[in-house]
Structure 1
Amino acid sequence: MDIQHVCILGAGTLGTRIAFQSALSGFQVKVYDIHEKSFELSKKMIEKIAKSLVSSQIYTAEDIQLALNRLSYTLNDQEAVNQADIISESVTEDIEIKRKVWTRMGEIAPEKTIFTTNTSYLLPSSLASFTGRPEKFCAFHFHDVFYSRVVDIMPHPGTNMELIPILQDFGRRLNQVPVYVRKENHGYIFNAMLLSFLGAAGKLLVNQVATIEDIDLSWKVNFHVPMGPFAILDQIGLDTAWHVTHQLPDANSQAFAALLKTYIDTGKLGEKTGEGFYKYTSK
């Protein structure tokens, strides 16, 4: 299958990054969301990423403009999918919302369309049947896209295995490194390890062992990396982290989820809102 038209469901942090990388890679891209305000935030995010890519001499200003010409936004779901060869879904990490979205996509998407979810925790088998075309459904999970260039391909037992090489090729065309997850697993590969790391940091904070800053400093200095666990959570989005954490049954996860909820309730979702565990400015 020759993928040319890409539909992105959800104009949030990751959906925006996937959309921009898809456009930079030469694909025609339509981004769908139910909130027009999300498009404004998405465009600002792309502008910020573009400046970094140009200053790093990864792309030229002309490359960026050509990519932007291939990318459009719409509040109309039928318009978003009418030519889609593949759908990449990055909506809120809530199973009921995702089920509604995939039920609708199964009703309106062309027969040719490949369905992929970017969920960071849910299993594809929990969503596939709602499309009415479970054989065309697969998890295709991106990370940062520009700096952490891994994409996980995780089928469910009913996935048509002919999709795997198509998705591997598509991933490479997006300048990503595809990894194949042979068996359904919550958190895929990297996120399964990351959850343990972030959960340990959350336990230290909830139990008042150390401050946010000192926990991050300990990790950063020991591993010579620019971010600690709480800065990483800010980048992921505290709302996304809560949706995963509050589903975990152990007491430590529940306590950390309750803490995350206090930030979410005051609009502090992380880098995307300008404040989470840390404050972010234009600089």
Structure 2
Amino acid sequence: MEIKHVCILGAGTLGSRIGFQAALSGFWVKIYDIKEESFILSQKMISKIAKGLFAAETYSKDEIAAALNRLSYTLNDEEAVAEADIISESVTEDLALKQQVWARMAQIAPEKTIFTTNTSYLLPSSLAAFTGRPTRFCAFHFHDVFYSKIVDIMPHPETDAELIPILDDFGKRLKQVPVLVKKENHGYLFNAMLLSFLGAAGKLLVNEVATIEDIDKSWMVNFHAPMGPFAILDSIGLDTAWHVTHQLPDANSKAFAALLKTYVDAGKLGEKSGEGFYRY
């Protein structure tokens, strides 16, 4: 099938980035969310990205303007999916909420529509039954989209094998590098490795071994990296990090999740809110 129309569920950090990249790649994009204020934040984020892409001479002003013309927002879920060839779901990393969203999509999405979830940690098999079309459902997980261009394709046991090359092609058209996760795995490939790294940093902080700044410096200087673990967490979103971390069974993860929760409760979600471990 030919993909022309893309529906993004969730106007947050990744949903907005995926939507903008899809529009830049020539697709018609509708971004759906339940809160109109999410659209304002999304537009600000996209404007900032667009300025960076233009400054880097990645896209011209005309190309960016054309992409923005192909991208629209809606609070109406039926309108969002009416023409969708594919749905990319990026709602909050909460199992019950995602199940609820997919049960709704099963009722209103056209039969042709491919369903994909951008979940960071949950397994697609935990959502598949709620989609009403498990064979046309797959995890299709993006990282940063513009700078970290890996997209994970992770089927569940019932995913139709013919869906894989379609998603592989779609990922390449979005200027990403697709990788296939042959077996369901929490955190895919990179996130599974990243979780161990961030968990080690969290353990150092919770046990008061060093400050946030010094833990980050240690990593950045030794690996010539632009960001340390806590700056990375800010870029991911501390709410997303908490949703993943608090589900882990070990004591160190639970302690770090409790610390993250104090930031989340204070509205300090990282870059997207202007403050997390650092100010932005």
Q: How would you bin the TM-score normalised by the shorter chain?
A: over 0.9
Q: Deviation per CA, 1:227-270, whole angstroms, max 9, x where unpaired?
A: 00000000000000000000000000000000000001110000
Q: Deviation per CA, 1:171-217, whole angstroms, max 9, x where unpaired?
A: 00000000000000000000000000000000000000000000000
Q: Which residue of 2 aligns with 1:274?
A: 274
Q: Deviation per CA, 1:21-40, whole angstroms, max 9, x where unpaired?
A: 00000000000000000000
Code of the aligned partner of 1:63? E
Mark the runs of 5 or more structure 1 residues left unpaired by the alignment. Answer: none
Among the aligned pairs, what percent are the same residue?
A: 79
Mark the runs of 5 or more structure 2 residues left unpaired by the alignment. Answer: none
Code of the aligned partner of 2:13? T
Q: Which residue of 2 aligns with 1:131?
A: 131
**What displacement does 1:275 show?**
0.1
Separation in structure 2 between the aligned mates of residue 64 and residue 37 of structure 1, nearest angstrom:
23
Q: Which residue of 1 aligns with 2:68?
A: 68
Separation in structure 2 between the aligned mates of residue 242 and residue 263 of structure 1, nearest angstrom:
10
**What displacement does 1:110 show?**
0.2
Q: Which residue of 1 aligns with 2:243?
A: 243
Aligned pairs (5 A) from 1:14-53: 14-53=14-53
| SS of aligned partner of 1:179 | strand
Q: Which residue of 2 aligns with 1:164?
A: 164
Aligned residues: 280
Separation in structure 2 between the aligned mates of residue 235 and residue 154 of structure 1, nearest angstrom:
23
RMSD of aligned residue pairs (Cα, Å): 0.3
Separation in structure 2 between the aligned mates of residue 159 and residue 232 of structure 1, nearest angstrom:
32
Q: Which residue of 2 aligns with 1:191?
A: 191
Q: Deviation per CA, 1:112-153, whole angstroms, max 9, x where unpaired?
A: 000000001000000010011101100000000000000000
Separation in structure 1 between the aligned mates of residue 274 and residue 52 of structure 2, nearest angstrom:
18
Matched, 1:153 2:160: no
Runs of 4+ aligned residues of structure 1 deviating over 4 Å after TM superposition are none
Separation in structure 2 between the aligned mates of residue 201 and residue 47 of structure 1, nearest angstrom:
33
Question: TM-score, length-normalised on structure 2?
Answer: 1.00
**What displacement does 1:99 show?**
0.3
Separation in structure 1 between the aligned mates of residue 5 and residue 217 of structure 2, nearest angstrom:
43
Q: Deviation per CA, 1:34-66, whole angstroms, max 9, x where unpaired?
A: 000000000000000000000000011111100
Q: Which residue of 1 aligns with 2:181?
A: 181
